[in-house]
């Protein structure tokens, strides 16, 4: 069975996990990452941010509700820098190439890709 995460760092107030692709963050169709990690690590965890099911990468989970509030505020105030890297196998077909541009908030807490490149994603 594939592991859903690896612990990268554990601190008093938070834990950093390396989430595997294909693992849902939310408990939609079974236990989500936070629930799996809490059961595995043996203590309650609180979401700070999320990653899509198909996305792998580092995720921070707080070890208390007060730590979650503080860490969430840092993300909201853009005091935490996030970087995304997309990798692909194979060769791009015609009419395909770079996907590069700034990101901006869209509807329903989603993000959209812009044509400007002041701080490209």
Model pTM score? 0.71
Longest dimension (CA), the chain: 50
The per-residue DSSP string of 24-67 comes to -SSSSSS--HHHHHHHHHTS--EES----TT--EEEEEESSHHH
Read off the pLDDT of residues 10-60 as tens digits, 9 standing for 90 and up.
999 999 999 998 888 887 777 889 999 999 999 999 999 988 888 889 999
Residues with catalytic annotation?
Answer: 52
Between the alpha carbon of residue 59 and those of residues 8, 84, 121, the distances in Å are 10, 12, 18
User: What integer pLDDT is reported at residue 114 of this predicted model?
Assistant: 73
User: What integer pLDDT is reported at residue 52 of this predicted model?
Assistant: 85
Residue 118 has pLDDT above 80, yes or no: no
Cα gap 27→25, rounded to integer Å: 7
Domain ranges across the chain: 5-76
Read off the pLDDT of residues 48-82 as tens digits, 9 standing for 90 and up.
998 888 888 999 999 999 999 999 999 999 899 88
Cα gap 62→10, rounded to integer Å: 10
User: Are the beta carbons of 103 and 95 closer than 8 angstroms?
Assistant: no
Cα gap 39→83, rounded to integer Å: 29
- Please tell me the CATH superfamily of domain 5-76, with its number: Pseudouridine synthase (3.30.2350.10)
């Amino acid at each position: 069975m594939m592991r859903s995460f690896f612990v990268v760092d554990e601190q008093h107030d938070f834990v950093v996990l390396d989430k595997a692709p294909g693992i849902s963050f939310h408990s939609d169709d079974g236990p989500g990452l936070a629930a799996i990690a809490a059961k595995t690590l043996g203590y309650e965890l609180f979401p700070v941010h999320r990653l899509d099911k198909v996305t792998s990468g580092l995720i921070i989970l707080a070890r208390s509700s007060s730590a979650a509030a503080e860490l969430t505020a840092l993300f909201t105030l853009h005091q935490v820098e996030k970087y995304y890297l997309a990798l692909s196998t194979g060769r791009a077909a015609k009419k395909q190439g770079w996907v590069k541009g700034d990101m901006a908030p869209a509807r329903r807490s989603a993000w959209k890709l812009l044509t400007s490149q002041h701080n490209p994603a």
